[in-house]
Structure 1
Amino acid sequence: MLPTGREHFPNSALAKSALRSGSLGDADTPMREALKPTAEPGWVLSHEGYNILSESTLESRFAFSNGFLGMRAARSLSRGPTWVAWLGYSRWASWPRCYVAGLFDVPNTEPPVSALVPVADWSRVRILLDGQPVLGWKGELLRGTRKLDMHRGLLLSTWTHRTPAGITVTASELRLLSLADRSTGLQLVRILVDRDGVDVKLEASFAMAGLGMEPMRLERDIGAWRTESTAKCVAMTGAASLRVGDNPLAPNQPFPLQWTWCWQSVAGQVAEFDRLVAVARADTPECDPTSRAAARALDRNRALGWRAVLAAHEEAWNKRWLAGDIIIEGDDDAQQAARFAVYHLTSAANPEDDRVSIGARALTGDAYLGHVFWDTEIYLLPFYTAVWPEAARALLMYRFHTLPGARAKAKHFGFKGALFAWESTDTGTETTPERVVAQDGSVVDILTGRMEHHISADVAYAVWQYWNATRDDDFFLRAGAEILLDTARFWASRAVAEADGRRHIRHVIGPDEYHDDVDDNAFTNVMARWNIRRALEAMDLLRARWPEHAATLQDKLGLTEDEFADWRDAVARIVVGLDPATGLYEQFTGFHALEFIDLAGYTDRTVPIDVVIGRQATRRSQVVKQADVIALIALLPEEFPGAMAETNFRHYEARCAHGSSLSAGMHARVAARLGHPEIALSYRRETAATNLDRDPNSAGGVRIAGLGSLWQAVVLGFAGLDLMGDTLSIDPKIPPQWKSLSFHVRWRCRSVAIRIADGTVDATLLEGDEMDMRIAAATRKLIAGATLQVSIEAGPR
């Protein structure tokens, strides 16, 4: 059985130090124990040495976050300064970044586009030996290791460096952003010098503090800045201490947010440094309250001390792993990839703030400028809905708060209802640039913001899935129903009746962005029809259960019975591109008249197919960028009865070039459901490789949606978990080489542990009232505390 208590996960570092090994120095101190990684297999990713070609990618992969703050895994020690410069012929050896969710401003770029603002790198530590700084490119790096301890949610580093003067210094470091108190960061460093009499100076600072923002307050222990165009405030404060041997040293503070200590080394003597930081953000121009909030956060954590801060953080991660871990026996690579996905998905969310969402690279890099796409609702929300509903609700409330921007966008294009921004930041205003200047100087039109409209149906899909899985009626009444109704209104106005008696949605872009400005994209139209159906169902539900609320909402939106009739007409007459004779959906009107290109002849390419054959040739072909109709199979399997799913999967799989990191995971999910484990495993491995391997394109941050699709491939694909039905349902088809698959799921205020092994499913209701659950073809009752065992082939036993 899947373990149901804390015995499955080690507790805090201090309580379970026996599980870890290896650290710096001989003294058995609390800090030394804290610096030991989790020893249980499968929880730690390690990287040895230093390579400029892979450093930025590593900084993304090993990044750590708590949904409010994020930090890349750049070295804190032994690196030189970083500043922005126009250097087309060189690259930064490191790209240190600290982010605050929701802190957007419009930089001096063309076109002017809102972007996530990096804040001060609070972890910078500079060591000088006899007046000379220790720098990675000076002297010799004898040993360097970084470890991402996924179980504890933190970064560990150890390095040994010999300076040009022959002095050897060794340091170990721990860094975290607290999951127990999201305003808080912690850094621990232990330092040892190999000889006596060296003049040691340690400088701890907030590097590049306030870059690109107006300084509003700069004092000894606190700084506050305001963004120039959006007038948001961020405040940062810190406290640091140093102990050399048994003696605490008092720091000098020559500048705000900088501490320095000086001492003479004794060979083998350990210096222990600790730093607590606190950060606060406000969406108002007044910075004094923000400064006070940061100061209060620092005060309460200083009162606790770093040991308690670490223990609380580890306990918070322990709880999240109890809810979200995936256990795969028999496939170590799949186990590691699944945990890596859950680690970053957990790191990215903040259920305490429903005014922010998760960008395409989360809080791990600058790519896509922190913008939010459809990725969040389609690729990330299923994870949160299934294991962390509080986070899912916050993400959906973000979309509710951006409804004014969505309504304004729909109106701008001459439509009714709500058309969500293709690229969204903090306000919901469309932030996709209309055109950009290419490297050759030509002007390129960007059509996604104008034509990739399926985003509204994607948001509606996530709303319905969340409400169906949680029965969160408060959310449904406050926000969910309104989103469903206003997106349906958009689609009814978007689907125009024409002379052929059908309603068409023309001039769109589907998920396959190789083909833009197309008519009647199947994914868009089928999702639009589904969206309208769910909105009509939502109104019926409101009228039946909450008639006063139904009347109020209908009056607020100005909905009439004639409009509802028009919605029903749209459902009946929207073109979906289905050929009844073959069971194939045509991806868009005219797709099958395009040239077929056999992609088998391009398997050795190292760049996207549109680079190989050219953009125009790609557009004239049936080559698909990513899962489009295949994504529709995953989201709405009821639209593919009988053999239709297999027919469409085989047809479009042969045409997909996987030019997006979103594609392979969706293919894995569908292949698993269709009973093709080897194909699904191949796509799963491809999805894992884009983040876990040293892909240089990961330098801009982890592809969080790809990690979401990795979770989906395992839980919604191989396990067959279904969150869209009237009962919780699983229909397992796990690969034969997997000995078992175990996970937890939340369902309508209940928690269920599931283990699939040896042709049976064990389901245990851990929390909540008894419930029905469908396992393959059998529907049975789950009773709290009892384990139901069902043979997948032969029924319950």
Structure 2
Amino acid sequence: IYHLLIAVDEKCHDVSVGAKALTGEGYRGHIFWDTELFCLPFYLHTNPAVARNLLLYRYNRLDAARKIAKQKGYQGAMFPWESADTGEETTPSWYKDSSGRIQKVLTGGQECHITADIAYAVIHYFSVTDDTNFLLDHGLEIILETARFWASRVEYNSRKKRYEISKVIGPDEFHENVKNNAYTNLLVQWNLNTAAKFCRDFQKKYPANVKKLMSRINLLPSEIAKWKRIAAAIYIPVSKKTKIVEQFEGFFKKRKLPLTGLDHHSLPLYPGNIRNIGNTQYVKQSDVVMALFLLSEIFSLETKRKNYLYYEKRTLHKSSLSASIHAAVGAEVGEEYKACHYFEIAAYADLKNVYGNTNAGIHAASLGGVWQALIHGFAGLRIRKGMLCINPQLPSHWKGLKTSVKFRGFDISVVIGKEKINLYFSSKVKKDRLTVSVYGIAKTLLANRRYSFFPKHKKIVPCGLEEYY
């Protein structure tokens, strides 16, 4: 937490947090998706002004993202995989492998899910803060222009009557140049639907603002209608029989191999006898599991658990972004031992130099991921349809957990024990109210009063939202 706190300045509106924060020269200080999906949630619930600044960094480079999209023959805005001061793509085009051979780097062109990741972060910010002014002045434009990009990036398969996305890399960078990566397609579907929804809703509430924005970016109603059609027909590879999400089209046909053992940090060993790991089902880091985490509400609990166990057997966790997400989702689906195991790995990522490169700087994403595993995973604090939901899954050997989070302008004290949850929020306005969901039951709280909630059972409580997969 210390390194996340010192990495930002509340008064600075035009910088972001690099992959190594302020601790080293790794990745030359470049900005990745790490910031929006791993670090930003911490700031959202502790210092929302900082989270706003991190998104302003992206907004201030929206024209650069438009330029990238145009250069590649697309519309809208395509954010770079690696960003620096100008917002241009700064991913290197090649690197030397361990044998000294030159290898081409494809992430700059193919790991385009970052565009949807940034849109997700904008709506995440709005869900927590209810900052309408930010959305009208900055955020909505990002949402619309990223949706516009995806509408031009998808390809229509007339034979199968569906939209597809080819030549991409998902979070799992072992597999390049794949077709219909589930994580990417799910986030694209979300991006398109969310852009259409917010444009419609804001047109009703703030017609003059939205009309002016649509005029400025030349956005037509017909485009928005098309987004909804694409979202409804985009291909999500899911087995109807097993409910396992196929990481990408053809993944199930890849060579299935067992994990060969664990290293001294209790992480799976990298198989030394594999010439091309892309021909196997080995996964570098959370990919489908990352989608389960971000879009938790669209999956049934049973589907989440099946997919978690399926991919846990195949994931090598060769990225510092992986263990914390497996901890968070593991806690949600009731896999206590696995959740604690991955939580410990993530917590000690730099203290024990788990990935062997801490000399280049700490792993900022892992720091933010540990906080999310603790708060979103074990404490079970998530935002659902604008409501703060609390459904803790504390490890049996923990006595309790005490924290505070910012939500909709309130500081909320949360104390989770073995048998009850205590909630409290203060306000100078005595009539202030806040509706929360605890153990799946909605309750309206009054300011400056303490509330205790007692679970009626020990089972995992679903979110109570629609389950699509």
Does TM, normalized by the shorter one, top 0.5?
Answer: yes
Of 226, 242, 246, the residue aligned with 1:582 is 242
Match of 2:288 in 1: 629
**1:351: Cα distance to partner?**
2.0
2:231 aligned with 1:568: no
Tell whether the 8 Å contact from 1:378 to 1:458 is kept in structure 2 after alignment: yes
3-state SS of paired residue (2:52): helix
Shift of 1:498: 1.6
Q: Which has the higher strand share?
A: 1
Matched, 1:613 2:273: yes
Match of 2:299 in 1: 640
Q: Which residue of 2 aligns with 1:509?
A: 169
- Alpha carbons of 1:653 and 1:787: their partners in 2 closer, same or farther (altered >3 Å)? same
Letter paired with 2:144: L
Is the Cα–Cα contact under 8 Å of residues 512 and 624 in structure 1 kept in the other structure?
yes
With over 3 angstroms needed to count, the CA separation of the structure-2 counterparts of 1:613 and 1:404, relative to structure 1, is farther
| Alignment CA distance shift 1:412-1:731 (3 Å) | same
Does residue 1:770 correspond to 2:428, yes or no?
no
Equivalent of residue 386 in structure 2, options 709, 715, 726:
726
Matches within 5 A, 1:241-320: none
> RCO (CA 8 Å, sep 6+): is it higher in 1 or 2?
2
- Which is richer in helix? 2
C-alpha distance after superposition, 1:720-748 (max 9, x if no partner): 11124321111111112111101111111
Distance, in Å, in 2 between the alignment partners of 1:762 and 1:494 is 48
Deviations 1:635-680 (A, max 9, x none): 0012312411011111111000111011010000000011122211
- Alignment match of 1:530 (pick from 178, 190, 200): 190
User: Partner letter of residue 761 of structure 1?
Assistant: I
Is 1:497–1:504's contact at 8 Å kept on the other side of the alignment?
A: yes
Q: What is the CA-CA distance between 1:572 and the residue it aligns to?
A: 1.0
- Percent identical across equivalent pairs? 37
> Would the alpha carbon gap of residues 438 and 641 (structure 1) be closer, same or farther in structure 2, given more than 3 Å must change?
closer
SS of the equivalent of 2:358 reads helix
Normalising by the residue count of structure 2, what TM-score does the alignment of the two structures yield?
A: 0.93
* Cα deviation, residue 466, structure 1: 0.5
Q: Which AA in structure 2 matches 1:461?
A: Y
RMSD: 1.7
Superposition deviation, residue 609 in structure 1: 5.2
Q: Which amino acid counterpart does residue 793 of structure 1 have in structure 2?
A: K
Which AA in structure 2 matches 1:346?
L
User: Which position in structure 2 is the counterpart of 1:176?
Assistant: none
Listed as ranges, the matches of 1:227-242 within 5 Å are none
> Structure 2 CA distance, aligned partners of 1:680 and 1:409?
39
Q: 1:671 aligns with which of 321, 325, 330?
A: 330
Deviates more, 1:763-772 or 1:646-655: 763-772
Q: Judge conservation of contact 1:626–1:659 (CA < 8 Å) in 2.
A: yes
Show CA shifts across 1:367-416 (max 9, x none): 11100000001111111111210110000111101111111111111111
CA distance in 1, matches of 2:269, 2:398: 34
**How far is the alpha carbon of 1:440 from its aligned partner?**
4.4
2:66 to 407, 416, 421: 407
* 1:412-561 matches, cutoff 5 A: 412-438=71-97, 440-499=99-158, 500-561=160-221
Corresponding residue SS for 2:318: coil
**Which residue number corresponds to residue 652 of structure 1?**
311
Is 2:389–2:440's contact at 8 Å kept on the other side of the alignment? no
The residue aligned with 2:450 is: 787
Maintained 8 Å contact 2:285/2:321: yes
Please give the alpha-carbon distance, in whole angstroms, between the structure 2 residues aligned to 1:755 and 1:622: 41
Counterpart of 1:698 (choices 355, 358, 366) is 358
Normalization by structure 1: what TM-score? 0.55
Q: Which amino acid aligns with 2:234?
A: I
SS in 1 for 2:382: coil
* The one of 342, 357, 361 aligned to 2:20: 361
Q: Aligned partners of 2:450, 2:100: CA distance in 1, in Å? A: 65
How far, CA to CA, are the matches of 1:765 and 1:680 in structure 2?
Answer: 30
Question: In the superposition, relative to structure 1, how do residues 652 and 794 fare at CA in structure 2: closer, same or farther (>3 Å)?
Answer: closer
Where does the alignment leave 5 or more consecutive residues of structure 1 unmatched? 1-341
Corresponding position of 1:136: none
- Of the two, which has the highest radius of gyration? 1
* 2:265 pairs with 1:602: no
Question: What amino acid maps onto 1:772 in structure 2?
Answer: T
Q: How has the CA–CA distance of structure 1 residues 766 and 610 changed in structure 2, closer, same or farther, with 3 Å as cutoff?
A: same
How far residue 758 of structure 1 moved from its aligned partner, in angstroms, is 2.6
Q: Partners in 1 of 2:95 and 2:38 — Cα distance?
A: 28
